[in-house]
Amino acid sequence: MDLRINLPESEIPTAWYNVMPHLPSPVAPPLDPQTHEPVDPAALAAIFPESLIAQEMSDQPWIEIPQPVRDVYRLWRPTPLVRAKRLEEALGLKVKIYYKNESLSPAGSHKPNTAVPQAYYNKQAGLRRLATETGAGQWGTALSFASVQYNLDCTVYMVKVSFEQKPYRGMLIRSYGATIFPSPSDKTRSGRAALEKNPDHTGSLGLAISEAVEDAATHEDTNYALGSVLNHVLIHQSVTGLETKSQLVLAGEKADILVGCVGGGSNAAGLFAPFVPECLDGHGPQMLAIEPMACPTLTKGQFRYDYGDVAQLTPLIKMHTLGHSYTPPPIHAGGLRYHGNAPILCQMVDSGLVTPQAYYQKEVFEAAMLFLKTEGFLPAPETAHAIKGAIEAAKNAEPGQTVVFLYSGHGLLDLAAYDAYLSGKLTDYEYPDAEIAEALKSCPDI
Amino acid sequence: MDLRINLPESEIPTAWYNVMPHLPSPVAPPLDPQTHEPVDPAALAAIFPESLIAQEMSDQPWIEIPQPVRDVYRLWRPTPLVRAKRLEEALGLKVKIYYKNESLSPAGSHKPNTAVPQAYYNKQAGLRRLATETGAGQWGTALSFASVQYNLDCTVYMVKVSFEQKPYRGMLIRSYGATIFPSPSDKTRSGRAALEKNPDHTGSLGLAISEAVEDAATHEDTNYALGSVLNHVLIHQSVTGLETKSQLVLAGEKADILVGCVGGGSNAAGLFAPFVPECLDGHGPQMLAIEPMACPTLTKGQFRYDYGDVAQLTPLIKMHTLGHSYTPPPIHAGGLRYHGNAPILCQMVDSGLVTPQAYYQKEVFEAAMLFLKTEGFLPAPETAHAIKGAIEAAKNAEPGQTVVFLYSGHGLLDLAAYDAYLSGKLTDYEYPDAEIAEALKSCPDI
């Protein structure tokens, strides 16, 4: 059998899989922070196109992928499912390890799987421009790529400290033709207010979200796009799980354990979702969601309504949360530093379908180095969490079992993090129990 | 037909193709700079293993690829041949454009195609360590990756100015476990001599070669490895041309024009070599070697014996040269800034099989931006030369014709160059005719 299981283009899924109607209990609706009533879909129309709002609420198990989206997907999809044989040999276990390689997309991660349809639907709805925020830069890169495919302009508010620490990210986003502003910027009321209070403000994801949402809400021709958490994002990410299922059939394998890293939850849920029905039937794989010890949303958080952002601008979302006022320690997996998680994934955790696990960053980087030296490719620090989870799962598995993890992105623009690891400069952050307890008090009492 | 033409692993070539016995006139042997006699193979044994010396002189048309090399190749080979349909559409031509995507290797370029066998043969010969130089960093990355696959240590001397300008390259090389020194270093006699003369020496490729060769020559357990120019390197690179031929058959296509960028010549020659016999039979493709205007080795150089390095340490090589004392202007395609070229490729040019073309860097970056925005992927500045050549070839081709170019590497670690382009900071260097005429005087009179 080949190490890389390639599918022909005809196997790019023709429909996304919506796991919501299959879950044992329904995903709780987002609530208006004032009234605590479910949010009126019409209220979302200022920043999202109707087609995506409909997907957000959909009870249909399959949602057709428009042909113009598949036309862009085929630039890199289907992605290969790869047997990590040299990693297996280094571990000396009789367990098979596969990874679904989403790092091969133009933007280098799984993010274009949703950026492309989001750009498409906005173009269809007559929009001229998209606004978004980006933290570490993966999502901003993906949306910039997707926007240029449909001749949309794209404005990216990038958290200022990341903008300065990761100059290559900003350059790549600009290369795709997008406009990028370090946030806080002087382009929005929220940005100006923050700068007035503190001209040296280094920014935060919450603030960048505020700027992007304000930009979209105040410009008729502009909508907002989000890279994780929301239901429609997770639906789009199901392409990875669907392809993986076909590839396992081709390889004559059955997955015993699925592994994904978790920040907002979209890459893990995309892999897991199509396996949920067989899990409910009792013969599906074990599903592991791997998060950082420094931001243990699923392992230490509470499953309750909370704001999606620090500034309390978003609707209330029922999810595992550490409290929206929680500021995770500065670990290098920037994409996993989120106080909450996608409602769909949280529902899977709450119902026992998905098991969360947390690891310290040094052991995660150690796993990344083993992967690099055996398989040759440099993973993103976020992805390295999935690698660590997969290695530990393999150690605990029975001989002959099969572990499949989602390789969410490459680490070529994260080399400073590896340098810090190699230079012995990484810190393992202890459970910030007291801080989390304090931050949880910031959740509204619902 | 799928955009990406994938081959199964069974189609990884089982033998490399050696074009030397097929060329209309033989490749001239390297000469000893003192005696002007052909170099004695035994003299090379201090820094190369016998197996590679034999390949360097081989008149066999096929050289078997050892299974342990194919075992590493399969981490990323066969690479896809990709139809650049969105680029075609943007150009509005009825010409088909394909690219052979070598950027998908662990090191992100075609370089591992030769780094892996070089590491393997050295391991087989009982060596413990490899020493090499790197300019922009692609080769150092590839050899670091290859060395760790066979448990060899690896020492990389990186030109100091690149080491400082491209910190991510050094970090990636260290991540693979290699040791990296900015050159000039205090580790070698040549390095110390340079530092004594000038403590602020920023290094040069010539000097870094001297350091690596000295390191290898003065350590029994250490050999030297070179990433281009030499015959055995070009032989290894034939895997790309061989796979491309199979993929064209699968796609039902015949290549009318092949395009590769040229620095030392290995990626272009690897693509071209297997097509030479049909070219000699009169029904092969046109073959275009694309170089920078700032370093127009093939278009403006003379075909004669010259040193491979500035410091006159190498044997004399018959090649197109601008004179070994020529210092190309600081264009961003660092990998194409070489005064000479591979003897095999030069022989192909001299016999009219290959046509050289030169472009200015701004038009090359413009071509890269078009590729990025249509196909989604960021090319290395070196690779962008091939893209520019392919676009121009397509414009001049007949409707229905097929252009195939070698996509030698990604540009994710070259983003500063794109930033300079986007910021309007790039300069187009005029033909430095007078400088070249002066430098040509540095060639020995043979």
For A264-291, write each residue's pLDDT tens digit.
999 999 999 999 999 999 999 999 999 9
pLDDT given at position B326: 85
Q: Which residues contact B241 (CB under 8 A, 6 or more apart)?
A: B17, B270, B271, B272, B273, B274, B275
Q: CA of B113, closest CA in chain A: separation in Å?
A: 13
- Is a pLDDT exceeding 90 seen at residue B309? no
- Is a pLDDT exceeding 80 seen at residue A311? no
B/e letters for A258-289, b = 16+ CB within 10 Å, e = fewer, are: bbbbbbbbbbbbbbbbbbbeebeeeebbbbbb
CB A1 within 8 A of CB A7: no
B176: nearest CB among A174, A372, A413: A372
0.90 exceeded by pTM: yes
CB A192 within 8 A of CB B395: no
Chain A residues inside the 8 Å CB shell of B86: 75
pLDDT given at position A31: 96
Cβ distance A419 to B108 less than 8 Å, yes or no, reads: no
In A174-225, DSSP assigns E strands to 179-183, 222-224
φ, ψ dihedrals at A232, nearest 5°: -65, -30
Mean pLDDT within A43-61: 95
pLDDT given at position A171: 96
Cβ distance B419 to A171 less than 8 Å, yes or no, reads: yes
Task: Provide ipTM, 2 decimals.
Answer: 0.96
Cβ distance B75 to A375 less than 8 Å, yes or no, reads: yes
Q: Which residues contact B283 (CB under 8 A, 6 or more apart)?
A: none
A376: nearest CB among B145, B378, B422: B145
Q: Is B413 on the interface with A (CB under 8 A)?
A: yes
| Residue of B392, B167, B363 lying closest to A423 (CA atoms) | B167
Rounded Cα gap, residues A11 and A244, in angstroms: 11
Cβ distance B372 to A175 less than 8 Å, yes or no, reads: yes
Q: CA of B145, closest CA in chain A: separation in Å?
A: 7
Cβ distance A4 to B9 less than 8 Å, yes or no, reads: yes
pLDDT given at position A121: 98
Helices (H) and strands (E) in chain A, counts: 19, 15
pLDDT given at position A362: 96
Question: A158-207 pLDDT, tens per residue?
Answer: 999 889 888 899 999 999 999 999 999 999 999 999 999 999 988 888 88
Give chain A's domains with CATH numbers: 4-8+66-108+232-440 (3.40.50.1100)
- Is a pLDDT exceeding 90 seen at residue B333? no
Query: Is residue A430 very low, low, confident or very high in pLDDT (cuts 50, 70, 90)?
Result: confident
Among left, alpha and beta (phi > 0; psi -120 to 50; other), residue A126 is left
Helices (H) and strands (E) in chain B, counts: 19, 15
- Is a pLDDT exceeding 80 seen at residue B133? yes
Q: Is A415 on the interface with B (CB under 8 A)?
A: yes
Give burial (CB, 10 Å; 0-12/13-18/19+) of A202.
middle
3-class SS at B180?
strand
* Mean of pLDDT over chain A: 95
How many CB atoms within 10 Å of residue B221? 10
Cβ distance A171 to B416 less than 8 Å, yes or no, reads: yes
Rounded Cα gap, residues A383 and A412, in angstroms: 12
CB A225 within 8 A of CB A155: no
Q: Scanning every residue of chain B, which has its alpha carbon at the shortest distance from the alpha carbon of A142?
A: B376
Mean pLDDT within A225-243: 97
Q: CA–CA distance from A364 to each of A291, B91, B102, B378 (Å)?
A: 10, 45, 29, 29
Query: Is residue B43 very low, low, confident or very high in pLDDT (cuts 50, 70, 90)?
Result: confident
B175: nearest CB among A107, A176, A369: A369
Chain A residues inside the 8 Å CB shell of B176: 372-373
Q: CA of B264, closest CA in chain A: separation in Å?
A: 25
Among left, alpha and beta (phi > 0; psi -120 to 50; other), residue A229 is left
Mean pLDDT within B183-211: 92
Question: B387-403 pLDDT, tens per residue?
Answer: 999 999 999 999 999 99
Q: Which amino acid is at B44?
A: L
Question: B198-251 pLDDT, tens per residue?
Answer: 999 888 888 899 899 999 999 999 999 999 999 999 999 999 999 999 999 999
3-class SS at A346?
helix
Mean pLDDT within B129-134: 97
pLDDT given at position A336: 87
Rounded Cα gap, residues B261 and B383, in angstroms: 6
**CA-based R_g, chain B, Å:** 20
Query: Is residue B330 very low, low, confident or very high in pLDDT (cuts 50, 70, 90)?
Result: confident
Cβ distance A108 to B412 less than 8 Å, yes or no, reads: yes
Q: Which residues contact B297 (CB under 8 A, 6 or more apart)?
A: B262, B291, B320, B321, B322, B338, B339, B340, B341
- Is a pLDDT exceeding 90 seen at residue A396? yes
Chain A residues inside the 8 Å CB shell of B369: 175
CB A187 within 8 A of CB A211: yes
Give burial (CB, 10 Å; 0-12/13-18/19+) of B395.
exposed
Q: Which amino acid is at B365?
A: F
Mean pLDDT within B274-288: 97
pLDDT given at position B354: 98
* Mean of pLDDT over chain B: 95
pLDDT given at position B337: 84
Q: Which amino acid is at A375?
A: E
Mean pLDDT within B117-143: 96
A75: nearest CB among B174, B376, B416: B376
| Residue B193 in tokens | 């001599």
How many residue pairs from chains A and B have C-beta atoms closer than 8 A?
100
Question: Which residue in B1, B4, B143, B147 has the most chain A C-beta atoms within 10 A of its own C-beta, making it the best mutation to test that interface?
Answer: B4
Query: Is residue A43 very low, low, confident or very high in pLDDT (cuts 50, 70, 90)?
Result: confident
Q: Is B424 on the interface with A (CB under 8 A)?
A: no
- Is a pLDDT exceeding 80 seen at residue B431? no
Rounded Cα gap, residues B107 and B130, in angstroms: 17
Question: B163-172 pLDDT, tens per residue?
Answer: 988 899 999 9
Q: CA of A421, closest CA in chain B: separation in Å?
A: 9
- Is a pLDDT exceeding 90 seen at residue A329? no
| Residues forming beta bridges with residue B72, ordered by sequence position | none
- Is a pLDDT exceeding 90 seen at residue B272? yes
Rounded Cα gap, residues B165 and A158, in angstroms: 24
